[in-house]
């Protein structure tokens, strides 16, 4: 597979549209019999067996292939590779991954490796980095919760408090995750005196991260299923770009206790501080109270807050005082732009290092992601080649409220209500089109792949778990896929988690988005649908009419490609054989054993149309 004219191209010269899934949601946590996984024994955990046991691997990949999926975004974490300490790699886990990838190869499943993180690590409310990255800064990982430096499901459980729905993203605004991201991407600029083992924190953290992924790549170098590597899932800017450290910026949703950076810094160093408690609705966020945190420093003896060391704030008089409100606002005497000033150099460095050894394959792709809020880095011919904009998109109102109404949604950018199913559908398509257009104008038109989208299956108070009626879920998913089709996008849905159960969902932070649960598919009529897998020409238009069971595909036929256009036409919709129509002189064959429709150009040049009716 190569990139040509901004399309994925197979060995036959056909343009590919890749469809698949993320595997899996539970891969964010180590193998454990307890959910949530205790935040204990960080060195001794194991991820071997995530996403599923090896003895089950072929059955899962066979199932995914039957779904028409051709690509998997495989979730791994830095912690899974290097949890025991810097430079100590879990070889048993890497051997497990290798065998897993060989099973994927057997079923012609392409894999791109996703070094996943959410809000930095499990100890800061998410997943990704090992505990020792925090400990290297002198943080006592057992004290983060009391200081408001992190909010975890485990802390809530220990306090006997309910874990608020979709609260985990707010950890981006709390001290621990925000500090780690800032140091990782820009420690040399904003914390030049912060050293880890004699190196600047930025150099140390980036080098260990890249070295871990390089080691992983070396162990998997013979796995032909691997088509590429993500640089980092949903990177975040931390404090970078903040104009006023006494306010609240750089957040996607304000919910629960969310401090300003200055309050976060003060509490982390032991001062008792009241955090404002936010509530958010369609009309915006508002402060609905307060909660006091702090009283004991999270830093061990001999360590101090790096921002205090840099003179951003002080407590020499006994009380915290903010000295540099705009410490993170500028870069090279102008407004800092995280995506281009810090994220892009990291991605270029990651790509170069992953490709610099003799065993690195030149055609391996690097999947680029911007911020969770949607900002992307620009890209030019001077930057790393063979890159893909693997942006994410979710129907935010449904994801956060766990309720879906096809006739109304909210434009999260403008806070305006959108009424009418057609208008809602058009809004979904426009959201994706915006990222596609950005890629065309500012990233040289590199290929796009929607790396994540999905739906909470536990919406409406888990009603479908009791009734087994997933029609509303199927309607929502169908609308999402219609938006994807309208933009001719490759896409991997979040997610496929075989160990998903109705009690704990995906096994991480209360999320429940798996299309497979309790041993069976769910919402299948929303996501199992026809699409063009490989086109002998240029894709032009995809439309699936779910109610009428009519699939229409138009493409510009290339007479120089003798191999057929290949379409997935599942029996769920088309039965034993679809009714097919093509324009002359095109011809077709149908293969029911794998639900494939082959359309042959027969030397035709021009716009071709295929319809399949069930």
Catalytic residue annotation:
234, 452
Q: How far apart are CA 136 and CA 138, in angstroms?
A: 5
CB 534 within 8 Å of CB 7: no
Provide the 8-state DSSP code for 124. G
15: enclosing H helix or E strand: strand 15-16
Q: How far apart are CA 584 and CA 44, in angstroms?
A: 64
CB 74 within 8 Å of CB 114: yes
CB 326 within 8 Å of CB 244: yes
Closest CA to 29 of 104, 117, 96: 117
Name, in order, each residue with C-beta under 8 angstroms of 405's C-beta and a sequence gap of 6 or more.
Answer: none
Q: How far apart are CA 78 and CA 96, in angstroms?
A: 15
The 3 state secondary structure assigned to 348-372 is HHHHHHHHCCCCCCCCCEEEECCCC
Compute CA distances 191 → 130, 310, 398, whole Å: 21, 6, 39
Alpha helices (runs of H) in 191-252, residue ranges in sequence order: 201-219
CB 42 within 8 Å of CB 78: no
Please, what is the angle between helix 471-486 and helix 459-467, to 10°?
120
Q: In the chain, how long is the greatest CA-to-CA distance? A: 85
Other C-beta atoms lying within 10 Å of the C-beta of residue 591: 11
463: Cα separation from own chain's centroid: 27
Residues 144, 48, 399, 292: what is their CA dihedral angle, to the nearest 10 degrees? Answer: -10
Rg (CA), the chain: 24
Residue 153's φ and ψ, nearest 5 degrees, are -60, -35
CB 225 within 8 Å of CB 110: yes
β-strands 330-331, 195-196 pairing:
unpaired
Tell me the residue ranges of DSSP E strands in 391-482.
Answer: 408-411, 416-419, 449-450
Three-state DSSP class for residue 257: strand
């Amino acid at each position: 597979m190569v990139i040509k004219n901004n399309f994925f191209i197979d060995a036959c010269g056909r343009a590919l549209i890749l469809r698949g899934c993320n595997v899996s949601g539970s891969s964010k946590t180590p193998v454990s019999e307890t959910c949530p996984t205790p935040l204990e024994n960080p060195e001794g955990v194991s991820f071997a067996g995530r996403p599923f046991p090896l003895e089950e691997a072929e059955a899962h990949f066979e199932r995914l292939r039957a779904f028409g999926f051709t690509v998997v975004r495989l979730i791994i974490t830095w912690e899974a590779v290097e949890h025991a300490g810097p430079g100590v790699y879990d070889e048993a886990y890497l051997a497990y991954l290798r065998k897993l990838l060989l099973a994927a190869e057997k079923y012609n499943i392409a894999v791109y490796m996703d070094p996943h993180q959410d809000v930095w690590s499990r100890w800061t409310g998410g997943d990704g980095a090992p505990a020792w990255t925090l400990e290297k800064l002198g943080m006592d990982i057992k004290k983060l919760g009391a200081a408001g430096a992190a909010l975890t499901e485990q802390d809530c459980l220990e306090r006997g408090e309910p874990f608020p729905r979709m609260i985990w993203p707010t950890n981006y605004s709390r001290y621990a995750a925000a500090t780690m991201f800032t140091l990782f991407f820009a420690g040399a600029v904003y914390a030049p005196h912060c050293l880890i083992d004699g190196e600047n924190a930025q150099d140390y953290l980036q080098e260990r991260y890249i070295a871990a992924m390089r080691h992983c790549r070396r162990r998997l170098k013979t796995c032909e299923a691997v088509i590429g590597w993500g640089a980092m899932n949903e990177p975040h800017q931390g404090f970078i770009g903040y104009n006023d450290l006494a306010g609240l910026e750089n957040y996607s949703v304000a919910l629960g206790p969310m401090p300003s950076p200055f309050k976060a810094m003060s509490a982390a160093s032991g001062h008792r501080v009241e955090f404002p408690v936010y509530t958010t609705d369609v009309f915006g966020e508002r402060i609905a109270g307060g909660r006091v945190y702090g009283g004991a420093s999270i830093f061990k003896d001999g360590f101090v807050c790096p921002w205090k060391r840099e003179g951003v704030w002080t407590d020499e008089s006994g009380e915290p005082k903010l000295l540099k409100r705009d410490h993170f606002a500028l870069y090279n005497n102008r407004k800092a732009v995280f995506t281009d000033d810090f994220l892009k150099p990291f991605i270029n460095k990651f790509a170069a290092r992953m490709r610099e050894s003799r065993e690195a394959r030149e055609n391996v792709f690097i999947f680029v992601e911007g911020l969770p809020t949607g900002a992307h880095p620009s890209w030019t011919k001077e930057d790393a080649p063979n890159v893909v904009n693997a942006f994410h998109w979710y129907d935010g109102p449904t994801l956060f409220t766990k309720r879906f109404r096809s006739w109304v949604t909210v434009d999260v950018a403008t806070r305006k209500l959108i009424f009418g199913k057609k208008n809602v559908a058009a809004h979904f398509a426009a959201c994706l089109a915006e990222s596609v257009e950005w890629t065309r104008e500012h990233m040289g038109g590199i290929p796009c792949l929607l790396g994540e989208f999905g739906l909470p299956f536990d919406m409406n108070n888990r009603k479908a778990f009791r009734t087994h009626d997933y029609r509303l879920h199927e309607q929502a998913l169908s609308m999402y896929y219609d938006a994807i089709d309208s933009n001719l996008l490759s896409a991997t849905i979040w997610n496929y988690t075989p160990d998903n159960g109705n009690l704990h969902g995906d096994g991480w932070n209360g999320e429940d988005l798996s299309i497979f649960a309790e041993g069976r598919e769910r919402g299948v009529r929303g996501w199992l649908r026809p699409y063009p897998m490989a086109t002998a020409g240029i894709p032009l238009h995809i439309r699936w009419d779910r109610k009428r069971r009519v699939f229409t595909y138009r493409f510009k036929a290339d007479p120089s490609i003798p191999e057929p256009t290949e379409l997935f036409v599942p029996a769920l919709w088309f039965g034993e054989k679809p009714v097919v129509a093509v324009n002359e002189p095109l011809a077709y064959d149908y293969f029911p054993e794998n639900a494939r429709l082959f359309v042959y150009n027969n030397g035709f040049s021009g716009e071709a149309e295929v319809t399949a009716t069930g």
